[in-house]
Structure 1
Amino acid sequence: MGVMTILIPKFPLLKEWAYAGFFFTLAGALISHIILGQPFDSILLPLIFLILTAVSWYFRPASRKIVSNRSNSSY
């Protein structure tokens, strides 16, 4: 469902939540593998997907980014 949310147009806030869900799930999996002392080949897949998630979020199109209506001049 998260992949479908990220791929369909519109709903930028829902997309942010999907990216956050992927990030926390994959980060937790990576940390769990490391703590259990599993070999590098078990750590590699969650690490690759975590990096792909971060890169996908960072380079997402401007139309999928949340734009704040606040003005920073009041700070």
Structure 2
Amino acid sequence: MTKRNKIIYWIATIWLALGMVSTGIVQLIHMKEEVALFTRLGYPAYLLTILAVWKFLGVVAVLIPKYPLLKEWAYAGFFFTMSGAVFSHLAVGDGAIEYFGPVLLLVLTGLSWYFRPADRKTIGNDEFFE
């Protein structure tokens, strides 16, 4: 892994982790603005707690060494969560500002996944991009 790729990986991964933890905290404490947003999107409030716990577990999985298969699941979960957020905002006709957070976290998920070191990959899982 080149130094440039390692820097890209860690910057993307740290920002991804910070984004997931911060949104997870807001969801876990059921901040009134977040509850109102979920209600407007048509989701039940209890989903906030589920998403928060999954985000925290995903951040741990992505940051700890080893366990490449667990990391794949965490990245997939982040991708599904953030792409679901984008499409949920689209479905209710939200403005572009509402897409910024989920799209940013989606991009950071892709960058972190793509530039992760070899010891954080499952064997042969990048053949699609080669």
TM-score normalised by length of structure 1: 0.86
Aligned match for 2:90, one of 31, 34, 41: 34
Aligned match for 1:21, one of 74, 77, 86: 77
Q: Percent identity?
A: 56
RMSD: 0.8
Number of aligned residue pairs: 68
Q: Deviations over 1:35-71 (max 9, x none)?
A: 2110111111101100110111000001101114xxx
- Write the mapping of 1:1-75 to structure 2, written as runs, cut at 5 A: 1-68=57-124
Deviation at 1:21, TM superposition (A): 0.4
The structure with more helix, counted as a fraction of residues: 2
Partner of 2:54: none
Poorly superposed stretches of 4+, deviation over 6 Å: none
